[in-house]
Amino acid sequence: MALYSEKVMDHFRNPRNVGILEDANGIGEVGNAKCGDIMKIYLKIEDDIVKDVRFETFGCGSAIASSSMATEMIKGKPLKDALALTNKAVAEALDGLPAHKMHCSVLAEEAIKRAILDYYKRKGLPYDEETFREAECCHETE
Protein backbone atom coordinates (compact mmCIF):
# COMPACT_ATOMS: atom_id res chain seq x y z
CA MET A 1 0.00 0.00 0.00
CA ALA A 2 1.25 3.48 -0.86
CA LEU A 3 2.32 5.74 1.97
CA TYR A 4 0.47 8.72 0.44
CA SER A 5 -2.92 8.86 -1.27
CA GLU A 6 -3.33 10.09 -4.83
CA LYS A 7 -4.96 13.26 -3.47
CA VAL A 8 -1.96 14.01 -1.26
CA MET A 9 0.36 13.49 -4.22
CA ASP A 10 -1.83 15.66 -6.48
CA HIS A 11 -1.93 18.56 -4.00
CA PHE A 12 1.83 18.20 -3.44
CA ARG A 13 2.68 18.13 -7.15
CA ASN A 14 0.04 20.68 -8.17
CA PRO A 15 -0.63 22.87 -5.13
CA ARG A 16 -3.56 25.26 -5.38
CA ASN A 17 -3.60 28.87 -4.14
CA VAL A 18 0.18 29.21 -3.74
CA GLY A 19 1.77 32.60 -3.16
CA ILE A 20 1.40 35.89 -1.40
CA LEU A 21 -1.95 37.70 -1.36
CA GLU A 22 -0.94 41.36 -1.50
CA ASP A 23 -4.31 42.71 -0.32
CA ALA A 24 -4.78 40.17 2.48
CA ASN A 25 -6.63 41.47 5.51
CA GLY A 26 -5.81 38.43 7.64
CA ILE A 27 -2.45 36.67 7.85
CA GLY A 28 -1.58 33.68 9.98
CA GLU A 29 1.79 32.01 10.37
CA VAL A 30 2.62 28.87 12.33
CA GLY A 31 5.55 26.55 12.57
CA ASN A 32 6.57 23.26 14.10
CA ALA A 33 10.09 23.35 15.52
CA LYS A 34 10.27 19.56 15.68
CA CYS A 35 9.83 18.97 11.96
CA GLY A 36 10.73 22.41 10.59
CA ASP A 37 7.46 23.02 8.73
CA ILE A 38 6.33 26.65 8.44
CA MET A 39 2.96 27.72 7.01
CA LYS A 40 1.69 31.17 6.22
CA ILE A 41 -1.93 31.69 5.21
CA TYR A 42 -3.20 34.91 3.61
CA LEU A 43 -6.95 35.67 3.65
CA LYS A 44 -8.99 38.28 1.82
CA ILE A 45 -12.27 38.51 3.70
CA GLU A 46 -15.23 40.57 2.47
CA ASP A 47 -18.73 40.55 3.94
CA ASP A 48 -17.80 37.60 6.18
CA ILE A 49 -16.81 35.51 3.15
CA VAL A 50 -13.31 34.20 2.37
CA LYS A 51 -13.09 35.81 -1.07
CA ASP A 52 -9.51 34.70 -1.68
CA VAL A 53 -6.84 32.69 0.10
CA ARG A 54 -3.18 31.97 -0.60
CA PHE A 55 -0.42 30.13 1.22
CA GLU A 56 3.32 29.84 1.49
CA THR A 57 4.64 26.65 3.05
CA PHE A 58 8.17 25.58 3.76
CA GLY A 59 8.03 21.91 4.56
CA CYS A 60 7.43 18.37 3.49
CA GLY A 61 5.00 17.12 0.87
CA SER A 62 2.31 16.50 3.48
CA ALA A 63 2.59 20.09 4.72
CA ILE A 64 2.25 21.46 1.18
CA ALA A 65 -0.68 19.14 0.41
CA SER A 66 -2.40 20.07 3.70
CA SER A 67 -1.99 23.79 2.99
CA SER A 68 -3.31 23.39 -0.55
CA MET A 69 -6.32 21.31 0.48
CA ALA A 70 -7.19 23.57 3.42
CA THR A 71 -7.20 26.66 1.19
CA GLU A 72 -9.45 24.89 -1.31
CA MET A 73 -11.83 23.93 1.49
CA ILE A 74 -12.33 27.50 2.76
CA LYS A 75 -12.18 29.55 -0.44
CA GLY A 76 -15.54 31.20 -1.09
CA LYS A 77 -16.95 29.99 2.23
CA PRO A 78 -18.45 32.00 5.08
CA LEU A 79 -15.97 32.95 7.77
CA LYS A 80 -17.76 30.74 10.31
CA ASP A 81 -17.19 27.71 8.05
CA ALA A 82 -13.50 28.55 7.65
CA LEU A 83 -13.20 28.87 11.40
CA ALA A 84 -14.85 25.47 11.87
CA LEU A 85 -12.37 23.67 9.57
CA THR A 86 -10.57 20.94 11.48
CA ASN A 87 -7.32 19.15 10.82
CA LYS A 88 -9.28 15.90 10.65
CA ALA A 89 -11.45 17.30 7.84
CA VAL A 90 -8.31 18.33 5.94
CA ALA A 91 -6.76 14.88 6.39
CA GLU A 92 -10.01 13.16 5.33
CA ALA A 93 -10.28 15.37 2.24
CA LEU A 94 -6.77 14.20 1.32
CA ASP A 95 -7.92 10.58 1.76
CA GLY A 96 -5.76 10.32 4.86
CA LEU A 97 -2.27 11.15 6.03
CA PRO A 98 0.21 8.82 7.70
CA ALA A 99 -0.01 9.11 11.49
CA HIS A 100 3.42 10.70 11.72
CA LYS A 101 2.30 13.42 9.27
CA MET A 102 -1.00 14.40 10.94
CA HIS A 103 0.75 17.42 12.48
CA CYS A 104 0.78 18.92 8.97
CA SER A 105 -3.02 19.10 8.89
CA VAL A 106 -2.95 20.54 12.43
CA LEU A 107 -0.66 23.33 11.22
CA ALA A 108 -3.06 24.12 8.36
CA GLU A 109 -6.00 24.42 10.77
CA GLU A 110 -4.01 26.58 13.16
CA ALA A 111 -2.65 28.87 10.42
CA ILE A 112 -6.21 29.52 9.21
CA LYS A 113 -7.40 30.26 12.75
CA ARG A 114 -4.47 32.58 13.30
CA ALA A 115 -5.25 34.41 10.03
CA ILE A 116 -8.90 34.83 11.06
CA LEU A 117 -7.81 36.09 14.47
CA ASP A 118 -5.51 38.59 12.73
CA TYR A 119 -8.49 39.75 10.64
CA TYR A 120 -10.65 40.26 13.74
CA LYS A 121 -7.89 42.21 15.47
CA ARG A 122 -7.18 44.41 12.43
CA LYS A 123 -10.88 45.24 12.10
CA GLY A 124 -11.36 45.71 15.83
CA LEU A 125 -14.08 43.05 15.81
CA PRO A 126 -15.06 41.14 18.95
CA TYR A 127 -14.14 37.45 19.07
CA ASP A 128 -14.44 34.52 21.41
CA GLU A 129 -11.04 34.21 23.12
CA GLU A 130 -11.59 30.52 23.85
CA THR A 131 -11.95 29.78 20.13
CA PHE A 132 -8.53 31.28 19.48
CA ARG A 133 -6.65 30.20 22.62
CA GLU A 134 -4.44 27.75 20.71
CA ALA A 135 -3.93 30.16 17.81
CA GLU A 136 -2.64 32.86 20.16
CA CYS A 137 -0.23 30.75 22.16
CA CYS A 138 1.12 27.87 20.19
CA HIS A 139 3.35 27.03 17.25
CA GLU A 140 5.19 30.33 17.14
CA THR A 141 7.54 30.71 14.19
CA GLU A 142 9.94 33.06 15.97
d(CA 140, CA 135): 9
Q: Is residue 60 annotated as part of the catalytic site, yes or no?
A: no
**Long-range contacts, stretch 43-50, CB < 8 angstroms, 24+ apart:** 43/82, 43/112, 43/115, 43/116, 43/119, 45/79, 45/116, 45/119, 48/78, 48/79, 48/80, 49/76, 49/77, 49/78, 49/79, 50/74, 50/75, 50/76, 50/77, 50/78, 50/79, 50/82
Q: Is residue 104 annotated as part of the catalytic site, yes or no?
A: yes
Q: Select which of 60, 104, 137, 138 is catalytic.
A: 104
Q: Select which of 35, 60, 137, 138 is catalytic.
A: 35
Q: Which residues contact 25 (CB under 8 A, 6 or more apart)?
A: 43, 44, 45, 119, 122, 123
Which residues are catalytically annotated?
A: 35, 104
